[in-house]
Homo-oligomer: A and B are copies of this chain.
């Protein structure tokens, strides 16, 4: 049907600044990551470079926000980059120069925005573009509970839609290819998605014409809104922020099993960024600090297998300039990435205390992931091996062929991700 969103025909892959730098990333850091992505990752499909939350806040320094601090704003109540952090944005250039830099590398540029209009605009009652109405007229008395920047916008008024149009126009003029909208897929205090504002933002994107992938945060997105999300966004988060804890990873099995029927070209339910490699440089959420991921190597194989067989976007959260060899290989396994891009249908087919099994199908091949979620290294039980149609599978992470009459051992918190061999 014509209603399918045409952007994002395959799941978006890129890097996002949050897991490393929280709200505080700086222009030179963004460029350094773009450089490495172009050099080492773009050949494998990695392409988006995303500047996360509060790029208009001059004093942002970590994942903790400075409540009620002034933000950099233009004459039409629109937030613009803090020039101390993004020097190229001076003279009203906004993110255009940074976008140009990234595009010149053959990559794509993404930014974050909060649902709504700045509270400072509302209390100062500043102007809007294209109307005599002012900020106070279109603001709603609803907030994000975890960030004090914005009020909701009343899109039942034409001027509310106009405000979102003016934002998306500005972003298009900067060359933005990807927008991550926050406080919108699930509200912790209003207990639903802000659906009217989602529809208004997608409408503004359709109007402006530039292909911009729309990503909605935070989760958990509600399943009952599944078809609404399919019609209005390319990605939406399945859980609250994901960090490097086994509990959070284990919980993702529930959510991916529920959301599998909604995955299709243009729609990629989102398991969140990959907190792998070196993270937490200026991020204090998640409890890890400036350090290497707390996931074991086996947990990392398991994570990547779940994200790829399910079809989640892949947004790397670690640093790129000092990426280690293990992590780099994890992100550039061509067998796994080929599976990832070619799957047309997937689902969880077995679940009990120790084992979870997924099956996926491309036009030509069948794949299985056997996840050992127990605390022990164990062979896959015979009745689960019997689910595989064929005599052997190829282990996509290690390149070995496993015959069905062998014992298929899987480490604790590990995975056997296999392609049916015949």
Contacts and interface: CB of A to CB of B under 8 A. Distances in A.
Given A3-B359, A145-B142, A68 B224 contact: no
B68 A136 contact: yes
A143 B189 CA distance: 11
A366 B3 CA distance: 12
A1 interface: yes
Given A224-B223, A227-B257, A258-B226, A139 B68 contact: yes
A257 to B, nearest CB: 6
A329 interface: no
Contacts of A68: 122-123, 125, 136, 139, 141
Interface stretch (A242-250, A343-351, A374-382): A343-351
Contacts of A143: 141, 143
A251 interface: no
A227 B347 contact: yes
A261 B141 contact: no
Interface residues of A, number: 43
Nearest to A264: B261
Residue of A67, A230, A349, A366 contacting most chain B CB atoms (<10 Å)? A67
A136 B67 contact: yes
Contact of A2 (B67, B148, B389): B389
A342 interface: no
Interface in A354-369: 359, 361, 366
B1 A361 contact: yes
A41 interface: no
A190 interface: yes
Interface string A218-231: 00000110110011
Contacts of A361: 1
A120 interface: yes
A359 to B, nearest CB: 6
A367 to B, nearest CB: 11
A194 to B, nearest CB: 14
B139 A348 contact: no
A95 to B, nearest CB: 26
Nearest to A149: B141
A147 interface: yes
A140 B65 CA distance: 12
A262 interface: yes
A119 interface: yes
A389 to B, nearest CB: 7
A350 to B, nearest CB: 10
B1 A359 contact: yes
Interface in A113-128: 119-120, 122-125
Interface in A235-288: 257-258, 260-262
For the complex of A and B, the 9 pairs showing the least CB-CB separation, nearest first, are A141-B148, A123-B123, A189-B189, A68-B136, A223-B223, A261-B261, A1-B361, A224-B258, A67-B141
28 contacts: A1-B359, A2-B389, A3-B349, A67-B136, A67-B139, A67-B140, A67-B141, A68-B125, A68-B136, A68-B139, A119-B123, A123-B123, A123-B124, A141-B143, A141-B145, A141-B146, A141-B147, A143-B143, A189-B189, A189-B190, A223-B224, A223-B226, A226-B258, A227-B258, A227-B261, A227-B347, A231-B349, A261-B262
Interface of A: 1-3, 67-69, 119-120, 122-125, 136, 139-143, 145-148, 189-190, 223-224, 226-227, 230-231, 257-258, 260-262, 345, 347-349, 359, 361, 366, 389
Given A67-B136, A119-B123, 16 more contacts: A1-B366, A2-B389, A3-B349, A67-B140, A68-B136, A68-B139, A141-B143, A143-B143, A189-B190, A223-B223, A223-B224, A224-B258, A227-B257, A227-B261, A231-B347, A261-B262
